[in-house]
Chain A
Amino acid sequence: MPLPRRNDPSLTFRHLDWPTIIIYLIMVFAGMVSIYAACYNFDNASMFAISEFSGKQLRWIGLSLILGLIILLIDARMYETYAFPVYIGLMILLAITPFLAEDTKGSYSWIKFGSSMSLQPAEFAKFATALALAKLLSGYHFNLNASYVNYLKAITLILVPVVLILLQNETGSALTFLALFFVLYREGMSGLVLFAAFFAVVIFVVGIKFTETMILGMPSGEFYVMLMIMVVMTGMTVVYSRRLEVGRNLLLWFLGVGLVEYILSLCGIEIPGLAVNLGAIAIACVYIVFEAITLRRPKLYVSALTAVLSLVFMFSIGAAFNHLQPHQKLRIEVALGIVEDLRDAGYNVNQSKIAIGSGGFFGKGFLNGTQTKLKYVPEQHTDFIFCTIGEEEGFVGAMIVTLLFLGLILRVIKIGERQPSTFGRVYAYCVASYFIFHFCINIGMVIGLCPVIGIPLPFFSYGGSSLWGFTILLFILLKIDASRKTS
């Protein structure tokens, strides 16, 4: 039996992951139709007219398919080989972009080609960073946990595009790269980091949101955070000590303190809640340190450390929050529901909620949406494209799109897990991470669960850069996957 050629197109197509391709095609064409609906202006221009956004998107889709085909025809090993040069090239491009770009709504991220076309290098930095990270982590004998230097390398790879894009004033795109921490987690980074990040967000939200009411002489937000710290402490102590009785002691201690506070407050006696709670946590920390020494479980220190750091973080939020720019502060406050500003910062979210909410179960029907068409929803064909789907296709349409994204992400994870090479797996997880971030943030902001961060919904939002960026990202993965058996 003759050995197959290393890069035989017929083999590539035989091993291509068709479910992903099908989801991809459904998404881009559904996206184009939605763009047509979003910009439909009652004068019945054709969906395919080049003057329409949908027509333009069709052109981008066509070019994307060609681009995808080219990617599939390139030898998979090229991507691994040229990962760093591509990354470096894109980083240089990102660095010089602000000098080439014109001011577009305050951001300097678009490079113009000719009169009608402009591209956003930030979108292409995604696949480059993914390739570079995959290359780094798949290095011979590279082990993340072997040395902090390795972490430093990986985090630097991620942070370079973040900083460069922040310099272009494109906060949304920049934050996207932080999703790559999921990849680091999959590759061995302690879950504590993700947990800490998550816990920090929770403390931040709760601490800022509940500042109006007071419990036991302190803002209720701080009270809730302290409660959570106690719960987390107890949980971590049980996990790390592997002794239930240690956790039980802590639990009884906290419950006892809580009960005394509760009874005293019922009797109308004012107690310095902050001091009492801090004292309770401090005593618990001392107890944990004691157990750590007697049980010889140094990991228990983490439990105490978490409590201390969380408290420090909580008290520093206020100061940090006040250092944000006013519009960022406002966006956060609106997203958390502290400020009800339906005219300015909250306008977008409120209008998009109205548009989606008015869709009902089956929607108003294709081209029958009123909110999106009458331009109540801003950026309706780009970042807020999901509104049009929600309004015109209703819950059914919105659910299908949500399930398509879940399907795509899970499929990409599945592809990643079946890769024989670390390179392929890491790359796949990078792709999944980007999709997770875009899906969570974009749909989350449209339905009012996340602050408004201007990032597109992959394959749906209008725009060549985003479509091309995600297409390249996905098709490189498909190529790597298709050639996994030959390498």
Chain B
Amino acid sequence: MRKNYNLEKRKYIIGGFIILIGLIYLVRLFDLQINDEQYKQSADSNAFLKKTIYPSRGLIYDRNGELVVFNQPAYDVMLIPRDVHPFDTLDFCQTINISREQFDKRMADMKDRRLNPGYSSYTPQRFIAQLSVEDYGRLQEKLYRFPGFFIQKRILRQYKTPTAANVLGNIREVNKKDIERDNYYAAGDYTGDLGVEKSYEEHLRGVKGVEILMRDARGRIQGRYEDGAQDVEPISGRDLRLSLDIKLQQYAESLMVGKRGAVVAIEPSTGEVLCMVSMPNYDPTLLVGRQRGENYRKLVNDQSWPLYDRSIQASYPPGSTFKPSQGLIFLEEGIIDTKTTFPCTGGYVSGGLRVGCHPHGSPLPLIPALATSCNAYFCWGFKSMVDRRSKYGTSAKAFEVWKNHLVSMGYGYKTGIDLPGESRGFIPNAKYYDKFYKEGRWSANTIISVAIGQGEILATPLQIANLGATIANRGFFVTPHVVKEIQDTVIDSKLLERRYPSIEAKYYTPIAEGMRAAVTGGTCRGAAIPGIEVCGKTGTAQNPHGNHHAVFMGFAPYDNPKIAIAVFVECGGYGATYGVPIGSLVMEKYLTGTISPGRKATEELMLNSKVYYAPPKKK
């Protein structure tokens, strides 16, 4: 048969057609497999069920190695909405002890993106949090009847003693902000709230692990991906060793029962906080488990503010405990020497102004002035410094020098303690008074109350304890901190450095002597502990809201001090009434481990006495 060459050309058209199709397919394959990442992600979320394995949270020990906070398991009921098939709802509700209404509400809440922004029908969602062990046991047996549901083990905290809630803090469920801030968190995770649980969260929480399971198109688990080769083991959180002595903490808390205020004790040489009491306190176990929300609300609404950590958040006028820092400044500035005397005519009288004082000998040099807590001495000292134009030019300039010394001692700014929420206290600067009284229109007498730790001056109990530690160290302090050691790592070096205020070390000796004299023969006699050279300073801070705050600041022993302390008892009256006994009992307990028989009566009194606080006035 004759070949038709015209038609034979058509082989090129047919061949060209198939080559064209082949090219189109190759381009498409290239696009799907290499260009577009989307399919790879879809494939992963399709086929892999990533199960989070929660690490055990770091444990918390006290300075003596005693366990304070540990973990307990809790069981959350989780579900993947897409995998849930119709099941016996009634049976389910009975198993975990909820009503049908609660069940429906939980389901609706879970799917409400306003309440649960991370909702997706493809990812695990929490249905019920923290099942009781009995409910957990029952549900575990029947779980196969409820496809799509599974149980997620979680870690909750438990406390050996209901102590130091303000320092320890607690854990709470993460909120939307936490998740946005830190991508470690997923909805339903827990994070530290308040205390060291918050400030050491990153050490305590550890690293979450992942178990990668393969799931088929019907959501059935088909086994572990690559036999677990890609799984990530969780890494347990690091244990913390607190500097707190939990026994001392308990003792101090017991002494403070019935009173409001704070006790802060520091080991002067290291800056380690030995106890840190804020009263009223609360039982940290209240904030664990399913009742947390309700208990938390109760604590927030409590008129006595138990959640408010008075030891670091409350700013009180320090009263006479402020005087040692005054003495230091006057000595440093050469306003006085240890022999300089000021008269006290029943108080400080100058330019029609009078600051009262209690009866004692006059005139006095520095040491007896500290011992007797002479208001006039420190007012005169303050006046001679602030009004010394020959040296400073103006009162404002003199005042700035005065203020800067105080700041170097740790006043007016956060000390940098490793706890969240610390308050700054308050030390005014010259501008503050310029604004208040007009520039150049004020002098020492205008603001004389700051000389005795009243007026605008505010300090936290921690700052006053730190002052005690600085004097005990004769010229330096270490940033107070509550964590002594972190497992497998070191604490922040800033918490170990010595900080030197702008006062020469030699000037601390007369101040310490004055505080010693206050105990041996001054206002602080009640602080004396047999066999220990205690130094102390009382304070009676005037308080516009009621009775004076009782304040005590001290350290012991005189040489090589082991403990410095500050006590604030709100509306406790004279410093000697509550401040001194509580402070000295805590010091004695820490130093000797017991209370000497002669002081048992004082201890008994402190344990049982209560301060009456008027209910807050309705505004």
Contacts and interface: CB of A to CB of B under 8 A. Distances in A.
Please indicate which of the listed interface residues B34, B38, B39, B223 has the most CB atoms of chain A within 10 Å of its own CB.
B39
Given A360-B40, A440-B21, 14 more contacts: A185-B10, A188-B7, A354-B39, A354-B43, A354-B46, A357-B32, A360-B34, A371-B46, A375-B216, A399-B26, A402-B29, A405-B22, A422-B1, A448-B28
A374 B32 contact: no
A286 B606 CA distance: 116
B228 to A, nearest CB: 13
Interface stretch (B12-20, B179-187, B443-451): B12-20
A361 B34 contact: yes
Contacts of B34: 360-361, 395
A186 B215 CA distance: 51
B47 interface: yes
A444 B32 contact: no
Contact of A402 (B22, B36, B47): B22
A357 B13 contact: no
B154 to A, nearest CB: 29
A50 to B, nearest CB: 24
B437 interface: no
Contact of B40 (A42, A357, A402, A443): A357
A447 B14 contact: no
B291 interface: no
A398 interface: yes
A29 interface: no
Given A361-B34, A413-B11, A376 B47 contact: yes
Given A395-B29, A410-B15, A186 B217 contact: no
Contacts of B4: 188
Nearest to B7: A188
Given A390-B33, A402-B22, A449-B25, A186 B11 contact: yes
A360 B21 contact: no
B33 A357 contact: yes
Given A191-B13, A354-B46, A402 B8 contact: no
Contacts of A413: 11, 14-15
A432 interface: yes
19 contacts: A42-B222, A42-B223, A188-B7, A191-B13, A353-B32, A357-B32, A361-B33, A374-B46, A375-B216, A376-B46, A390-B33, A399-B26, A417-B11, A421-B1, A422-B1, A436-B17, A439-B18, A447-B28, A448-B28
A363 to B, nearest CB: 8
Contacts of A355: 43
A355 B47 CA distance: 10
Contacts of A186: 7, 10-11, 14
Contact of B25 (A357, A359, A443): A443
A358 B29 contact: no
B42 interface: yes
A-B residue pairs, 10 tightest by C-beta:
A357-B39, A358-B43, A370-B47, A374-B216, A357-B32, A395-B33, A406-B22, A354-B42, A376-B217, A358-B40
Interface string A31-71: 00000000000100000000000000000000000000000
Contacts of B44: 358
B30 interface: yes
Interface string A66-94: 00000000000000000000000000000
Nearest to B33: A395
B22 A403 contact: yes
Contacts, number: 124
A468 to B, nearest CB: 24
A358 B17 CA distance: 29
Interface string A403-438: 101100110010011000110000001001000100
Nearest to B37: A357
Contacts of B40: 357-358, 360
A374 B214 contact: yes
A47 to B, nearest CB: 20
A52 B7 CA distance: 48
B24 interface: yes
A410 B46 contact: no
Contacts of A410: 15, 18-19
Contacts of A449: 24-25, 28
B310 to A, nearest CB: 58
Main secondary structure of the interface of A (DSSP, over half): helix
A351 B43 CA distance: 8
A187 interface: yes
B265 to A, nearest CB: 60
A76 B36 CA distance: 50
B225 to A, nearest CB: 8
A182 interface: yes
Contacts of A436: 14, 17-18, 21
Contacts of B30: 395
Interface residues of B, number: 41
Nearest to B224: A42
B407 to A, nearest CB: 61
Contacts of A395: 29-30, 33-34
A429 B19 CA distance: 16
B542 to A, nearest CB: 74
B14 A182 contact: yes
B210 to A, nearest CB: 16
A373 B225 CA distance: 12
A406 B222 CA distance: 38
A458 interface: no
A332 interface: no
A376 B216 contact: yes
A447 B25 contact: yes
Nearest to B227: A42
A356 interface: yes
A394 interface: yes
A358 B41 CA distance: 8
Contacts of B29: 356, 390, 395, 398-399, 402, 447
Contacts of A371: 43, 46-47
A357 B21 contact: no
B48 interface: yes
Nearest to B28: A447
A444 B11 contact: no
A191 B7 CA distance: 11
Interface in A327-365: 351, 353-361
A329 to B, nearest CB: 24
Nearest to A436: B18
A480 to B, nearest CB: 15
Given A186-B14, A402-B25, A417 B8 contact: yes
B47 A357 contact: no
A357 B14 contact: no
A439 B18 CA distance: 9
B217 A358 contact: no
Please indicate which of the listed interface residues A394, A405, A406, A439 has the most CB atoms of chain B within 10 Å of its own CB.
A406
Given A370-B48, A398-B29, A447-B28, A357 B38 contact: yes
Nearest to B17: A436
Contacts of B28: 447-449
Given A406-B22, A444-B25, A449-B25, A358 B14 contact: no
Contact of B43 (A182, A185, A370): A370
A394 B38 CA distance: 15
Interface string A367-399: 000110111100000000000001000110011
A170 B1 CA distance: 39
Nearest to A347: B217
Contacts of B14: 182, 185-186, 413, 429, 432, 436
B119 to A, nearest CB: 19
Interface string A449-476: 1000000000000000000000000000
Contacts of A357: 32-33, 36, 38-40, 42-43
Contact of A374 (B8, B15, B38, B47): B47
Interface string A299-327: 00000000000000000000000000000
A188 B222 CA distance: 57
A417 B216 CA distance: 49
